[in-house]
Structure 1
Amino acid sequence: MTGRLQFNLATMLTFGAFSALVLNAMFGPRAALVFMACGALLIVSNMPQSIDSVKRWWPILLLPAWCLLTALWSLYPSNSIRYSIQLGFTVVVAMVMTGRVSTTTLMRLMFVVYGIGVVASIAFGRTGSFGAWLGVFGSKNAFAAHIAVFMLIAMAITADRHSHLLVRLCGVIGFGVSVPMLILAQSAGAIMMVAPCVGIIVLTILIVRLTGPQKLFLFALLGLGLAALALLFATMGNVLLADILEGSGKDATLTGRTDLWTIGLNYIAERPLQGLGYRSFWVVGFAPAEELWAMFLVPSGAGFNFHNTYISNAVEIGMIGLGLQVIIIYGGALTMAAYTIARPNAPNALLLSLQVLMILRSFIEVEVFFEFSIRSIMGVATLIYGAQGLLALRRNAPRPARPRPRGLLSHVRVPVRPRSHTHAHLQAP
């Protein structure tokens, strides 16, 4: 009974924390407070298990620890210290959550949380200056990102064989609603990026009935296809991207992103290993940041970035910190991919598709790693869920029987002498 109450409490606290982060446009300034309150209660509600989760996955804390260390050379050390501590708290919440909430429960509560945002956008949404639908969010990009994630969640709910028929029907409705809403957001990038993620969920559904050799053959073909695609983009990526953008009516420079990338690379070259300090570039009063805000007609302090995860984060925490982030991002994708192949189900497919979506968006947006960030939490959680699953499979795998050790004389037969009839006669009474 106690375990059941703790499970329900953990689910409710996770729901509250996720609601604050996903629906921050509706919560406003109280979003961070609600998240911290729910996260702290989640940690202290079962301290032994929380401590065990942190001890088990402590290497992930090297990232916030490095961010905190950058305060030693940061341009704004107080910013680096404060935001590093908040990032550390966010990571700990993600670590504790993975030990208290199952992937199936997480998928269902995310469907409810993101569904609230979708319903609110339909009921109270508005249109932006260029005709794009903004919903209840501040920009079309934020709205498109929310709808893209909800589309994947709804599809996973629909494909989940263990969910109630009514829940799966809600998933069908949610997926059907998300398609036109994504079109209304007028985000060609979101549409192109969500397509392969939908393919991951479809592929997971199909491989459920395949045998081991058939799975291996299928994924070998996919690996060859991805390698060929990567080679194509490496050699003709710029030309293809320009053609795609021109065909969709978008700016070939990605609305000035390429100019930002050049500027960011110049700052990385100045301090390639250690960076300028965590959260120490986009600061009001810092001349280079003020210049970029003015150049792109953005109000000072509006939360601008270099629109590339690797460039933006390397500017502040250097290649060392970026390397730790890459391990979490791509390590999470690889471990969850391996676990999904071994145990193909809807929750695993969802986590893998969301991680792939984050990777695709990382080249034009900056979503990780920040304090009070739902994407940062999911990035860490995916790595842990995947690793936990693989470790469980390894523990439960049947071990082959050990052959009994044989000595040098194991094949030597000792002859048994038959009793002599004479001897037996002499001993007889």
Structure 2
Amino acid sequence: MTEAAGPLMSNRRPARRGRRRTLSYSPDAIAAFVAVFGMAFIPLLGSKGALLFLMAGMALVAVRPGETLGALRREWMIALVALWCVMSFAWSDYASLTMRYGIQLCLTVLISVTIAYRLSPMIFVKIVFLTSGMTGLASVLIGRTRSDGMGYLGIYASKNALADASSVLIIVALAVLVDRRLSVRWRLPALAALLMGAMLLVMGQSSGALVSTLAVILVFGVIVLLQRMTAHLRLVTIALTVVLVAAIAVLLSSISDQLARIFLDLTGKDITLTGRTDLWAVAFGQIADQPFLGVGFQAFWVHGQPLAEQLWADFGISTRQGFNFHNTVISNAVEIGVPATLVQTLIFFGATGACLGWAIRTPSAASVFFALYMVRLCMLMWIEVVYFYQFSIGSGIIIAAICYGRRSKAEARAPATRAGIR
């Protein structure tokens, strides 16, 4: 993989002649840190955060544009999806909005791919750890709560956004904490960040984020167990696990009504999971009308769109924003059509599998973080919209996971290929 010149700031060995400590800086890592910082703080800084992301990211692109073009050629499927989103302005009822958001997504993809190819995975994860810790600390210091008292907000506009950010902080802190190759100056702050993230997650009162985070921690335990096994034993264990999970699923399906009632009582949601089934019925109607092209990238939840206005009114969304179909595949199929959504889904699941294999083969803070992050999104994508958004740190991490995961898979195949040639 392409390695950065060094971490954000690292200590060189002092010269023999004196005890003065000199510091070295990686311009690529600094620019990437500023870009990720800007994305992470968009909830607080607004357009200024987006501008910070664009300025630092485009500076990276401008320094070595040839490398960026080469990276985009290798990650052509991501670029193709972004270009399709822009092209959808041609059939969108809100062409100017679709074009603007599509261009923003293209810039997000461009900069995120550039960062992933300029930095090593470990340095990227260190940057995510630092920025996530800073947003968590800012949320603690600001102290905002919902007006009805039902959840903590911090720097975010909703409790779900806070819970999502807190979950990321927990995952990255856990990944850093268990990597014994990292020094104490990284692992001790990781322990503090883990505790802070857990506190914010509970304060956010988001049942979906809480359940998915607990499930990811269980997956982490499975990854650690598989790391200690031989390849053949891993295969047997995975096969037995699949059989066991299938058996449990069949057993639970027989008592699904009782389990659903218990879950709904604990979370305070209605039997349709806050009306998701009603939303999905409307979405399926839209997909049936325009299955191949969709209505246009982000061209459904628009002020003045008749169906969107009706749904906002039905669900009492007075702000007429921050609402979606609560399912990634369904939502994206509405906007960009079924074929493009299938491509997105293949890219996403391919990256998830690659990152899981990477974490099992060569465990590190980087591989474990990307594996757990992608697994968490796999759980949430059926009840939330998790990819791809413009100017979103979540999208940036997903794109980095796609790049690093694919390259780790290629590197794992390379020794076997060379051995076969011999």
Q: TM class, shorter-chain normalised?
A: 0.7 to 0.9
Does the alignment pair 1:106 with 2:124?
Answer: yes
Residues 234, 196 of structure 1: CA spacing in aligned structure 2 closer, same or farther, 3 A cutoff?
same
For residues 91 and 167 of structure 1, the distance between their equivalents in structure 2, rounded to whole angstroms, comes to 29
What is the aligned partner in structure 2 of residue 345 from structure 1? 364
Paired residue for 1:89?
107
Structure 2 equivalent of residue 255 of structure 1: 274
- Residue in structure 1 matched with residue 17 of structure 2 by the alignment: none
Whole-angstrom CA distance in 2 between matches of 1:300 and 1:274: 29
**Equivalent in the alignment of 1:185:** 204
Listed one character per residue, the Cα deviations across residues 30-86 of structure 1 (whole Å, up to 9, x for unaligned) are 122111111111211222321221122212211122223322221122222222222
- Paired position in structure 2 for 1:308: 327
Letter in 2 for 1:108: K
Specify whether residues 195 and 324 from structure 1 end up closer, same or farther in structure 2 by C-alpha distance, changes over 3 A only: same
Q: 1:3 to 1:17 in 2, by over 3 A?
A: closer
Letter in 1 for 2:331: S
Distance 1:242 1:375 in 2: 32
Residue in 1 that maps onto 2:309: 290
Partners in 2 of 1:238 and 1:258 — Cα distance? 16
Match of 1:23 in 2: 41
Change (3 A) 1:230 1:275: farther
User: Closer, same or farther in 2 for the Cα pair 1:38/1:226, shift >3 Å?
Assistant: farther
Match for residue 175 of structure 1?
194
Alpha carbons 2:4, 2:28 under 8 Å: kept: no
Moved more, 154-163 or 288-297: 288-297
Q: Does 1:362 align with 2:381?
A: yes
Match status 1:383 vs 2:402:
yes
CA contact (8 A) 2:144 2:152 kept: yes
Separation in 2, partners of 1:362, 1:398:
35
User: Does structure 2 retain, via aligned residues, the 8 Å contact 1:276–1:315?
Assistant: yes
Contact residue 157 and residue 163 of structure 1 kept, 8 A: yes
Which segment is superposed worse, 394-403 or 285-294?
A: 394-403
Contact 2:177–2:187 (CA under 8 A) maintained in structure 1: yes
Contact 1:205 1:345 in 2 (8 A): no
CA contact 1:204–1:345 (8 Å) conserved in 2? no
Structure 1 CA distance for aligned equivalents of residues 313 and 169 of structure 2: 35
Of 189-198 and 233-242, more deviation after overlay is shown by 233-242
Amino acid at match of 2:362: R
Query: Rg: which structure is higher?
Result: 1
Q: 1:114 to 1:356 in 2, by over 3 A?
A: same
Question: Is the Cα contact below 8 Å between 2:355 and 2:370 reproduced in 1?
Answer: yes
Q: What is the CA-CA distance between 1:148 and the residue it aligns to?
A: 0.8
1:215-240 per-residue CA deviation (whole Å, 9 max, x = no partner) reads: 33332233333444565677876764
User: What is the one-letter code of the residue matched to 2:108?
Assistant: T
Amino acid at match of 2:380: R
CA RMSD of aligned residues (A): 2.4
Q: What is the CA distance between 1:338 and its match in structure 2?
A: 2.0
SS where residue 313 of structure 1 aligns?
helix
Greater shift, 282-291 or 205-214, is seen at 205-214
Which runs of 5 or more residues in structure 2 are unaligned? 8-24
Structure 1 runs not aligned, ≥5 long = 404-429
1:361-418 Cα distance to aligned partner (Å, 9 max, x none): 1112113112112222222221221110111122234744779xxxxxxxxxxxxxxx
**Which is further off, 64-73 or 188-197?**
64-73
Counterpart CA distance in 2 for 1:213 and 1:288 is: 53
Q: Which amino acid aligns with 1:20?
A: G
Structure 1 equivalent of residue 232 of structure 2 = 213
Asked if the contact 1:201–1:346 (Cα under 8 Å) also holds between the matched residues in 2, the reply is no
* 1:334 and 2:353 matched: yes
Partners of 2:416 and 2:298 in 1: CA distance:
45
1:323 aligns with 2:342: yes
In structure 2, relative to structure 1, the CA distance for the partners of 1:259 and 1:167 (3 Å cut) is: same
CA contact (8 A) 1:197 1:356 kept: yes
**Aligned residue in 1 for 2:10:** none
1:4 corresponding residue in structure 2 = 5
**Larger mean Cα displacement after TM superposition, 252-261 or 152-161:** 252-261
Cα distance in 2, alignment partners of residues 237 and 38 from structure 1: 50
1:236–1:373 CA distance, 2 compared to 1 (3 A) = farther
Higher mean C-alpha displacement, 322-331 vs 59-68? 59-68
1:48–1:229 Cα change, 3 Å: farther
SS in 1 for 2:337: helix
Which of 85, 90, 96 is equivalent to 1:72?
Answer: 90
Deviations 1:124-156 (A, max 9, x none): 212221342222211111111111111111111
The answer as to whether partners of 1:246 and 1:252 remain within 8 angstroms in 2 is: no
Matches within 5 A, 1:54-69: 54-69=72-87
Equivalent residue, structure 1, for 2:291: 272
Q: Which residue of 1 aligns with 2:216?
A: 197
Match of 2:16 in 1: none
Residue of structure 1 equivalent to 2:59: 41
SS state of the match for residue 74, structure 1? coil
Between Structure 1 and Structure 2, how many residues are aligned?
402
Post-superposition Cα deviations, 1:280-301, rounded to whole Å, max 9, x if no partner, equal: 1111222221222222222355
Q: How far, CA to CA, are the matches of 2:359 and 2:335 in structure 1?
A: 34
Q: Deviations over 1:84-118 (max 9, x none)?
A: 22211211222112211111111111111011111
Larger CA deviation: 389-398 vs 357-366:
389-398
Partners of 1:317 and 1:48 in 2: how far apart? 30
Q: Return the offset for 1:268.
A: 1.2
The 8 Å contact of residues 328 and 379 in structure 1, kept in 2 or not, is answered as no
Distance in 2 (CA, whole Å) between partners of 1:19 and 1:108 is 12
Q: How big is each residue's C-alpha offset from its partner over 1:242-271, in whole Å with a ceiling of 9 and x where there is no partner?
A: 431223333322222222122111111111
- Does structure 2 retain, via aligned residues, the 8 Å contact 1:200–1:349? no
Identity %, equivalent residues? 32
1:350 deviation in Å? 0.9
